């Protein structure tokens, strides 16, 4: 049931400013406010429509992706032929953090247990140099004719679903989604540091191939797609979701430093990593959404050509996204020597977070489904998505409809997604000290 003006504000005891924010964030009447449309893939036809000077780099990028996709698929097919198999085996799935822990003591990474995981990681590295997501990399070495990816298909696919792959048997084969590829590389770094050069040779080779994968997958404009070689659809967009870009940049920053656990990296790669980080930072600044001449925050994913926000899955609209933007701002604030453009971007994003905070409410799940509920003492909360130009929360459903209240969604989507979050508060807490050293010039 939509929350009325009186029910939404009764007893909350907010300031006038907070009253206005709540009125903007909590709709007075529920409605379908739009229909989600699919993100466009990266294609030769789209490249042909670009200004002439931009075409060569994009053409080379797409051709590289096509060649690598063919090589990856041919490699698996050759294994199937050798084994006399018609279909690949399916590896077991599991969350990456469970099978590749990055928080153990340094000495643990030299143990037989850690080396066993590292050997499995190496065995599941794709010919392109990346890894799939949700792989159980503590189970077994990849077998002849076994797929590089587990079953990552959605259980809710319908006709025209944005998440339906062109080939159900070739899905997320090489991705940055769900911390994939960067986690494998971070784990290998720790194992390499715990072993001598002779013992770590295969892991060093795999790490170097993984870096080459990241270099090859980076767009000419500096961001990264969710899946590479390109799979089509929203997977071809610049992906801030799940920290795909920021985690890649953090890894490359460490490589560029050439110090600590990364001192083993071949001498030419830190220079390339430094250049990749610079291009990635340029992309982040270029994709910051501008409203009425003022910078705000970012979308969950952005078109690689127009740099505008685009849809992800059916229920993920092109919008200003609070959680992914919080991750991006924390990354920018962690830069050791930010230039004026970065400083401006951070101040602008923080202003947007303050403007869109929802005060006096909590998001809770109950027998009737998830909803916002009045709570005078609650800390600020943010909707995941805000409609660009209005500052109002929006919510998507699997049928591609976009709503202005979470209560209107189907029960499965209403309870099965993080529609509200507290991530921007972490930014505001860090910003209090950061802004003292980096004051706004407005």
Range of the domain at 336: 1-30+288-437
Cβ contacts of 234 within 8 Å, gap of 6 or more: 38, 39, 162, 226, 301, 310, 311, 312, 313, 316
Q: Is there a domain that residue 194 lies in?
A: yes
| Residues 89, 220 within the same domain | yes
| Residues 250, 381 within the same domain | no
| Residues 433, 310 within the same domain | yes
Report pLDDT for 370. Answer: 87
| Residues 13, 74 within the same domain | no
Q: Is there a domain that residue 353 lies in?
A: yes
Q: Is there a domain that residue 270 lies in?
A: no
Compute the distance between CA of residue 250 and CA of residue 269 in angstroms, rounded to an integer: 15
* Tens-level pLDDT at each residue, the chain (442 residues): 333 333 333 333 333 344 444 444 555 456 799 999 999 999 999 999 999 999 999 999 999 999 999 999 999 999 999 999 999 999 999 987 789 999 999 999 999 999 999 999 999 999 999 999 999 999 999 999 999 999 999 999 888 999 999 999 999 999 999 999 999 999 999 999 999 999 999 999 999 999 999 999 999 999 999 999 999 999 999 999 999 999 999 999 999 999 999 999 999 999 999 999 999 999 999 999 999 999 999 999 999 999 999 999 999 999 999 999 999 999 999 999 999 999 999 999 999 999 999 999 999 887 778 889 999 999 999 999 999 999 999 999 999 999 999 999 998 999 989 999 999 999 999 999 999 999 988 7
Cβ pair 202, 209 in contact under 8 A: no
Instruction: Check if 36 is active-site.
Output: no
**Domain boundary residue among 200, 232, 264?**
264
| Residues 247, 328 within the same domain | no
| Residues 218, 105 within the same domain | yes
| Residues 325, 260 within the same domain | no
Structural domain total, the chain: 2
Cβ pair 335, 253 in contact under 8 A: no
Q: Is there a domain that residue 62 lies in?
A: yes
Report pLDDT for 25. Answer: 52
Report pLDDT for 29. Answer: 53
Instruction: Check if 371 is active-site.
Output: no
Residue 378, both tokens: 């609650």
Catalytic residue among 36, 134, 171, 178: 178
| Residues 244, 117 within the same domain | yes
Q: Is there a domain that residue 95 lies in?
A: yes
Q: Is there a domain that residue 35 lies in?
A: no
Q: Is there a domain that residue 197 lies in?
A: yes
| Residues 226, 322 within the same domain | no
Q: Is there a domain that residue 175 lies in?
A: yes
Catalytic residue among 190, 295, 313, 414: 313
**Domain boundary residue among 264, 280, 310?**
264
CB atoms within 10 A of CB 116: 15
Spell out the alpha helix ranges (H) of 49-181.
55-83, 96-99, 112-123
User: CATH number for the domain including 259?
Assistant: 1.50.10.20
User: How many residues can be counted in the chain?
Assistant: 442
| Residues 3, 79 within the same domain | no
| Residues 327, 378 within the same domain | yes
Report pLDDT for 30. Answer: 64
From residue 185, alpha-carbon distances to 82, 213, 243, 249, 327 in Å are 30, 11, 15, 13, 20
| Residues 311, 402 within the same domain | yes
């Amino acid at each position: 049931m939509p929350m009325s003006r009186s029910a939404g504000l009764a007893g909350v005891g907010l300031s006038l400013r907070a009253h206005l924010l709540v009125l903007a964030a909590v709709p007075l009447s529920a409605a379908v406010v739009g229909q989600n449309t699919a993100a466009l893939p990266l294609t030769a036809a789209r490249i042909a429509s670009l200004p002439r000077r931009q075409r060569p780099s994009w053409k080379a990028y797409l051709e590289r992706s096509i060649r690598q996709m063919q090589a990856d698929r041919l490699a698996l097919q050759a294994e199937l032929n050798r084994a006399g198999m018609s279909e690949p085996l399916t590896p077991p799935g599991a969350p990456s953090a469970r099978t590749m822990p990055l928080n153990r003591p340094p000495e643990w990474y030299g143990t037989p247990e850690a080396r066993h995981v590292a050997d499995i990681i190496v065995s599941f590295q794709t010919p392109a140099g990346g890894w799939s997501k949700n792989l159980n990399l503590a189970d077994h070495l990849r077998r002849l004719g076994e797929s590089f990816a587990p079953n990552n298909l959605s259980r809710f696919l319908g006709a025209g679903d944005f998440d339906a792959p062109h080939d159900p048997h070739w899905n997320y084969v090489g991705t940055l989604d769900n911390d994939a590829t960067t986690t494998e590389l971070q784990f290998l770094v720790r194992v390499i540091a715990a072993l001598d050069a002779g013992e770590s040779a295969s892991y060093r080779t795999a790490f170097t191939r993984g870096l080459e994968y990241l270099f090859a997958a980076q767009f000419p404009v500096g961001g990264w797609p969710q899946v590479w070689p390109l799979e089509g659809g929203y997977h071809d967009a610049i992906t801030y979701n799940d920290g795909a870009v920021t985690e890649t940049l953090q890894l490359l920053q460490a490589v560029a430093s050439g110090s600590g656990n990364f001192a083993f990296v071949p001498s030419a790669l830190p220079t390339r990593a430094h250049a990749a980080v610079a291009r990635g930072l340029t992309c982040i600044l270029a994709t910051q959404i501008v409203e009425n001449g003022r910078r705000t925050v970012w979308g969950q994913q952005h078109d690689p050509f127009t740099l505008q926000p685009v849809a992800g899955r059916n229920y993920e609209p092109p919008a200003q996204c609070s959680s992914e933007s919080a991750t991006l701002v924390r990354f920018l604030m962690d830069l050791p020597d930010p230039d004026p453009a970065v400083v401006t971007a951070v101040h602008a994003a923080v202003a947007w977070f303050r403007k869109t905070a929802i005060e006096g409410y909590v998001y809770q799940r109950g027998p009737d489904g998830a909803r916002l509920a009045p709570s005078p003492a609650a800390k600020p909360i943010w909707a995941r998505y805000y409609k660009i130009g209005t500052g109002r929360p929006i919510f998507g459903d699997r049928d591609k409809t976009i709503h202005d209240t979470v209560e209107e969604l189907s029960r499965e989507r209403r309870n099965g997604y993080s529609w509200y979050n507290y991530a921007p508060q972490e930014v505001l807490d860090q910003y209090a000290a950061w802004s003292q050293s980096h004051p706004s010039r407005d």
